[in-house]
C-alpha cells in the first residue's frame, strides 16, 4: 500500500498537496474508493480512503489510525560529516532512514572537504525513504553543525566516536559493548577522519571510542554499518 507523508494532517478529512495529488492520481492511477496510508512523521500511521480523485486536490477520509507504529525501542542519533560527493552522503541518509534513525547531524570537522549542504534537497531524500520503507517516524535533519558543538550538547544515552587513529589506545568493537534499548549518539568523521584534537576533545567530554570492525570504511559505509549494527543488536532476542 502507498504511503504519503502528511505532517500537517488533521483527521478525519485531508487534502493531499498538489504534487502528492498528481502522483497519486496520474502516476499511481488511484481513484475514488482506493485505500492509501498517511503518516504525520511522528509515529501515527493513518489508513484513508480517496473521496475525490482530483489530480490537483486529492481528498481523502481517514478510516483508521495506529499510534507509535513500529516504534523503535531506542533513539539513534547519527552525527556524520558530509562527503565531498554529496550523492554518497544522500545514500547514507536514505539507508539509515530505511533501517531506523531518529536524528541526523551533518558535521563540520577540521578535515571536512564539504562545508555546506542543501537542507531542502536532503529532506526530500529522507522523506522519499520514509515513504518507500513505510516508516511512521520521520528522522529529524539538523543543520550543518560544528563537531565540537555536538560533542558538548546534552544527550541522554551513550555517546560514541568511531575513528581510525590507533595511537589513542584500545577501541572496542561497538557490537561487543552496546546493549539493547540504549539511546545512542555516534560520531562519524569526514574522508580524512577526525583530527587528533577532535578525538581528544570527544574523549575528554565522555565519548567512548569504538571500532566498527577490522576493515577501513569510507564515511558513508561506516555510517550505514553503525546504523545497521545498532538495529541488529536491538533485534536480538
Q: What is the pLDDT of residues 40-94, one digit of tens each?
A: 999 999 999 999 999 999 999 999 999 999 999 999 999 999 999 999 999 999 9
Residues 26 and 88 in one domain: no
Residue 208, judged by CB atoms within 10 A of its CB (0-12, 13-18, 19+), counts as middle
Q: Phi/psi class of residue 134: alpha, beta or left (left: φ > 0; alpha: ψ in -120 to 50)? A: left
Residues 121 and 185 in one domain: yes
Residue 1 pLDDT greater than 80, yes or no? no
pTM equals 0.95
Residues 212 and 121 in one domain: yes
Tell me which residue range forms the domain holding 147.
76-235
CA distance 209 to 203: 7
pLDDT in tens, 164-183: 999 999 999 999 999 999 99
Residue 91, judged by CB atoms within 10 A of its CB (0-12, 13-18, 19+), counts as middle
Amino acid at each position: 500500500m502507498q504511503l504519503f507523508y502528511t505532517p500537517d494532517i488533521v483527521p478525519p478529512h485531508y487534502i493531499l498537496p498538489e504534487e502528492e495529488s498528481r502522483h497519486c492520481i496520474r502516476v499511481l492511477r488511484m481513484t475514488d474508493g482506493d485505500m492509501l496510508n498517511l503518516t504525520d512523521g511522528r509515529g501515527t500511521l493513518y489508513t484513508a480512503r480517496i473521496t475525490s480523485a482530483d489530480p490537483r486536490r486529492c481528498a481523502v477520509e481517514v478510516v483508521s489510525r495506529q499510534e507509535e507504529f513500529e516504534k523503535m525501542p531506542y533513539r539513534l542519533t547519527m552525527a556524520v560529516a558530509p562527503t565531498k560527493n554529496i550523492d554518497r552522503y544522500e545514500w547514507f541518509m536514505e539507508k539509515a532512514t530505511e533501517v531506523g534513525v531518529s536524528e541526523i547531524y551533518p558535521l563540520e570537522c577540521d578535515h571536512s572537504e564539504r562545508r555546506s549542504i542543501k537542507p531542502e534537497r536532503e529532506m526530500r531524500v529522507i522523506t522519499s525513504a520514509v515513504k518507500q520503507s513505510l516508516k511512521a517516524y520521520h528522522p529529524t535533519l539538523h543543520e550543518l553543525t560544528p563537531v565540537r558543538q555536538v560533542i558538548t550538547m546534552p544527550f541522554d544515552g551513550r555517546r560514541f566516536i568511531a575513528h581510525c587513529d590507533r595511537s589513542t589506545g584500545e577501541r572496542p568493537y561497538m557490537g561487543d559493548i552496546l546493549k539493547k534499548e540504549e539511546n545512542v549518539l555516534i560520531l562519524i568523521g569526514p574522508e580524512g577522519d577526525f583530527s587528533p584534537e577532535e578525538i581528544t576533545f570527544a574523549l575528554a567530554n565522555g565519548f567512548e571510542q569504538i571500532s566498527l570492525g577490522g576493515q577501513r570504511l569510507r564515511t558513508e559505509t561506516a555510517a550505514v554499518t553503525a546504523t545497521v549494527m545498532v538495529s541488529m543488536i536491538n533485534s536480538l532476542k
